[in-house]
Structure 1
Amino acid sequence: MADMNLTPFDPSIFILTGISGLETAHEWISIPFSISYIIGLLGNFTLLFVVSKEQTLHKPMYLLICILALTDIATSTAIVPKALCIFWFNLKVITVGGCLTQMFFLHMFSIMHSAILVTMAIDRYVAICNPLRYTIFLTNARIAKLGLVGLVRAVLFSLPMPLLLRRLPFCANRIIPTTFCEHIAVAKISCGDITVNRMYGLVLMFLIMVLDLPLIVLSYGLIIRAIFRMSSKKAHEKALSTCTAHIFVMLMYYTPSLFSNLAHRFGQGIAPHIHIILSNLYLLVPPMLNPIIYGAKTKELRNKVGKYTCRS
């Protein structure tokens, strides 16, 4: 194999072990990885195709779903191909530059994902709680600007990570016990002081939780209150159905993400393979399920998808 001629002591490379402790099961583990990746790509590209083709779907909510789909495609593509190379071909070598690049984009897409979820929560709040001002307050142009702000924030928050790792010395141990380059996982194998890296990781997690989660919780709290005050049963059911899908997407992303981040830093008693599986879950499962959830729960989108997929 390609990595057999290189040793873990080569200063130009790192070694990704895959799922430590479950190396013998790598081929079996690759099956759900590849299936979830393929389903995610098909689902998200289908959403992008349908929304781009249908003029009636050129609305803020569907624009947000498209941005989320692009982020999902980028997130899963950042980790799955390399993971499958490890599982199938034992190609564990990754250059230092490749590792830092993967880490930067992975964290950037994750932070961008969070910003999109916040914007979607605000979008649903205005649509349900103040529908008369929806077309004035939330336009496609404004959504595009919010998306750009989210992207700039994601870049600024992610950029210090590879820069902080560049300053660290790496000695004999260059083995990263996971499937992808994550900031703390790489920092842990350094033979230098990683206090700054740990603090930045915690500050970043705190900022995301303080800036994003309260806005989401507040928005959906107000939405749920407004839904139960609706007199029309049909409007009540429609709003509740849409919000259920959105809330499920939020929980599906933030719950494993928060647990994985805390386990990485404070879960010394948790088996290494549990850490790795959790880290992969919150990066793999949302991209696979998001298009299914939105396709099933959003009637207008579901009908348009059916129009293309059910053609003879």
Structure 2
Amino acid sequence: MAAFNLTLSDPSTFILMGIPGLEAAHIWISIPFSMSYIIGLLGNFTVLFVVYKEQTLHKPMYLLLCMLALTDIGMSTSIVPKALCIFWFNLKGITVGGCFTQMFFLHAVSVMKSAVLVTMAFDRYVAICSPLRYATILTNARVAKLGLVGLIRAVLYALPMPLLLRRQPFCANHIIPHTYCEHIAVAKISCGDITVNRMYGLVLGFVFIGLDLTLIALSYGLIIRAVLRISSKGAHQKALSTCTAHICVILMSYASNLFSNLTHRFGQGIAPHVHIILANLYFFVPPMLNPIIYGVKTKELREKLGKYTCRR
């Protein structure tokens, strides 16, 4: 307790409280956290390993799948280890610099993941609507360039957040009622005017996510139109089955992200521990399920994965 009080008086340190109101259950909560994190790491690293080892998988679709795996690893790793330190060892202190670094990475990786999902939707559109031109439109080099553009966009979006917060005064209250340094959660403990911080996070967040969702909806609208023009029922099923995994990933990723952002700003009636638990789900449930979904729904990847897992 003395060390905790000393940390509170240190102006260079923030205190992450974990899940307020459920401190007694932190050990039990850590079990699904740690299990989901381990499963997610194993699944995503397995995808990266199989795609790397198999020359036949060195295609745009699987390059995008590797990008998704990397963003999932980055998302969960940016928050879960620190959350487990809070749950297991009561290590709640985090330096201001460490807090802002964590904030930058988790927001940048989230926006990067959104860009990858948009590119995957475009990949499915070209594969179904222009299959004969697929090899010329989407090359590995072009996908890599699109990934680089997405990375630059993510950095430009996330970088102003810690810079804006560095200008804010933090008075006596250094306690963040969260498991990680989310932008608005940190801004709320400032004793200065955070209007710019609120508007930046809200407006640009919805501009980026809204634009990405619009592009994804447009891609799938064109896919549905093309599928409906196909007379063969078997072709219908084959075309739609190639999109099923991606649609599941999109629903998981965007639904949890939008719900977390909206409740953090407008959900005053929602209990804090409910919001924090749901916010954490976005960072460790999709990374755990994405490799499972693609492993089950993608025949070629499933076959190559079986080649390694069934080997003696």
Determine if contact 1:37/1:80 at 8 Å carries over to the other structure. yes
1:246 alignment counterpart:
246
Within-5 A mapping of 1:182-197: 182-197=182-197
1:299 alignment counterpart:
299
1:166 shift after superposition: 0.1
1:135 alignment counterpart:
135
1:201 alignment counterpart:
201
Secondary structure of 1:193's match? coil
Secondary structure of 1:190's match? coil
Determine if contact 1:3/1:93 at 8 Å carries over to the other structure. no
Which consecutive unaligned segments of at least 5 residues does structure 2 have?
none
Secondary structure of 1:6's match? helix
Distance 1:239 1:84 in 2: 42
Distance 1:20 1:171 in 2: 21
CA offsets, 1:203-224, max 9 Å, x none? Answer: 1222123320100011112112
CA offsets, 1:116-172, max 9 Å, x none? Answer: 000000000000011111111100000000000000000000000000000000011
CA offsets, 1:181-240, max 9 Å, x none? Answer: 000000000000000000001112221233201000111121122223323444322221
Distance 2:196 2:9 in 1: 25
Within-5 A mapping of 1:55-204: 55-204=55-204
CA offsets, 1:60-103, max 9 Å, x none? Answer: 00000001101110110010000000000000000000000000
Secondary structure of 1:212's match? helix
Determine if contact 1:9/1:171 at 8 Å carries over to the other structure. no
Distance 1:199 1:3 in 2: 37
Secondary structure of 1:287's match? helix
Which consecutive unaligned segments of at least 5 residues does structure 1 have?
none
Within-5 A mapping of 1:26-45: 26-45=26-45
Distance 2:84 2:247 in 1: 31
One-letter amino acid matched to 1:306: G
Q: How many residues align?
A: 312
1:278 alignment counterpart:
278
Deviation larger for 200-209 or 293-302: 200-209
User: CA-atom RMSD, angstroms?
Assistant: 1.2
Distance 1:235 1:90 in 2: 56
1:2 shift after superposition: 9.4
CA offsets, 1:32-77, max 9 Å, x none? Answer: 0001000000000000000000000000000000011011101100
CA offsets, 1:240-279, max 9 Å, x none? Answer: 1121111110010001110110100011111001110111
1:3 shift after superposition: 4.8
